[in-house]
Amino acid sequence: MQQAAKILIIIGVVLVIMGIILWLAGNRFSWFGHLPGDIHIRKENFSFYFPLTSMLLLSAALSFIIWIISKFSGK
């Protein structure tokens, strides 16, 4: 149970740090979600948005970060 508590605390700290970074960065990340390849369909009474390229970029970045952490942790 202590291990789960430590993981939740770490996740909370990471989320707070990410929130502070996004708050301080302001509009520097406004390009995210408007990349070429993001699908946006607008009709008269309908709007559909699927950030395909943005999510692929985010997935690649997170996978790289997790890979780096696993290399340094020795697992």
In the chain, how long is the greatest CA-to-CA distance? 55
Q: What is the per-residue pLDDT for 55?
A: 92
Q: What is the per-residue pLDDT for 19?
A: 87
Q: What is the per-residue pLDDT for 75?
A: 60
> What one-letter code names the amino acid at 22?
L
Q: What is the per-residue pLDDT for 60?
A: 95
Provide the 3-class DSSP secondary structure of residue 47: strand
pLDDT in tens, the chain (75 residues): 888 888 889 889 989 998 898 888 878 877 778 889 999 999 999 999 999 999 999 999 989 988 888 888 766
Distance between CA atoms of residues 69 and 15, nearest Å: 17
Q: What is the per-residue pLDDT for 35?
A: 87
Distance between CA atoms of residues 75 and 66, nearest Å: 11
